[in-house]
Amino acid sequence: MDEFGLLMQGFAVALQPENLVLMLVGVVLGVLIGVLPGLGGANGIAILLPLTFAMPPVSAVIMLSCIYWGALFGGAITSILFNIPGEPWSVATTFDGYPMAQQGRAGEALTAAFTSSFVGAFVAVVMITFVAPVIAGFALRFGPPEFFAVMFLSFAAFIGMGRGSALKTVMAMMLGFLLAAVGMDAMTGQLRLTFGSTEMIRGFDFLVAVIGLFGISEILMSIEDGLRFRGQKARIDLKVVLRTWRELPRHWAIALRSALIGCWMGITPAGATPASFMSYGVARRISKHRAEFGKGRIEGVIAPETAAHAAGTSALLPMLTLGVPGSPTAAVLLGGLIMWGLQPGPMLFVEQADFVWGLIASMYLGNIAGLLIVLVAVPWFAAILRVPFAVIAAIILVVCAIGAYTVNNAEFDIVLMLAFGVIGYVLKKLDYPLAPLVLALVLGDRTEEAFRQSLLISEGDLTVFFHNWLSGSIMAAGIVLAAWPLLSALRLRLARPAVA
């Protein structure tokens, strides 16, 4: 039970007074971000990341991870009270959550959503506690070929398991690789794609790019949509909470099944949104009252919220153990770790044990704090949506500009941020996914380095990626996933009856 002892050491780190304060601040900021439609956890962390530059890495990541937990909780508030998904994964919650609010059961729906979210996250954190050290220990045997194989599998999984067009996913990924290549080649010292600009020598800073791609593009999309907030009022008192908690154990099977679905979808790059829809669909299909789904069934709130939180939390497992993020938010956190001089991967558990276990302990505490805060303060958070969106958008824009400027204290970065915002807006309008682009931007240099080191070891022989069962099996799985859309299309074409 070494993990238990290490976890206790992590609690000693997380329970330091300054870390507890940052934890509470992070949860509150996260709920605010989750309440504002379209902003989201990844956007909020990207915007607020510069605020943590002066903090120790442990404190900074605890605060940022708690922002994420808070955003997961906050998305349910707008979904249930206003029928506006605060997060993409909250769409499925609107199906039954908003009808419950219309029936005067908003307190019951919110309590069920928050409690289910806590359960899903708790299951995922327990899994991370006991599985992460095993994976990290196994990954210590990895060399450059194995690391490239893992990264290739991660990129291929976005192609094979992603939603929407596989071709658009590949094109977004290629754009990310192109942006990651700008600047100085780490292996040769040659300048690439700078076009004679001294400002471009340092390349595109990851943080500037994601602030533009996520924050600015969402402001542009929200302005275009002309958001107007009208919703139901809610008040959660102790009687409602206790009554709902007495009912929830009857649905333990739905919660457990949804948590397992969420953990699996989080470890793979499928993400929280597909997990929430899949869990909702499975719950509806199995239920004896499937005809009542969409009309205010509490199971329709429990299933998507449990799965979304389990997926969002478990996405940190591959990031910590292998250095491969399982979600856009995990990709932003990965970029933050790299900026603080930390190298996510198996050696992180050896060289920075206090950091890793302090972060894992903060996941337990952050989710408890998040549950208590949202249960107490729902009316206050919901009141934020009474503020005119023009005011909120202006504040977010100023925060984005300050965040981009503080990265390198360069005005040129604000111009880049706005340019990336327009690029992100165009990509969203054309239905190109941003997650593969961000993943390629974060991991592009490391993937290229592992690939080139592998070829140097083998003197240019590509079979180095299949030289043992470990890298060979990972590469084979990646090739299958990358080709999965083509295989699926071919199967459908063969299964289609011939037209005479």
Mean pLDDT over residues 425-450, rounded? 81
Residues 280 and 85: their CA atoms lie apart, in Å, by 15
Q: Which residues pair with 184 in a beta bridge?
A: 191
Report the chain's mean pLDDT, rounded to a whole number: 77
Q: Of all helices (H) and strands (E), which one includes residue 191?
A: strand 191-192
Helix (H, G, I), strand (E, B) or coil at 192: strand
- φ, ψ of residue 183 to 5 degrees: the values are 115, -150
pLDDT digits (tens, 9 = 90+) for 387-422: 666 776 777 777 777 767 766 777 888 888 888 888
| Ranges 112-121, 210-219, 265-274, 312-321, most confident | 112-121
pLDDT bracket for residue 105 (50, 70, 90): confident
Phi, psi of 191 (to 5 degrees): -85, 140
* pLDDT exceeds 80 at position 427: yes
Q: If you write DSSP's letter for every residue of 14-69 in order, what string do you get?
A: HTSHHHHHHHHHHHHHHHHHHHSTTTHHHHHHHHHGGGGTTS-HHHHHHHHHHHHH
Higher per-residue confidence, 301 vs 219? 301
Task: Encode pLDDT of 150-197 as tens digits.
Answer: 778 778 877 876 666 888 888 988 988 888 888 777 677 777 877 777
Residue entry with tokens 């976005």: 158
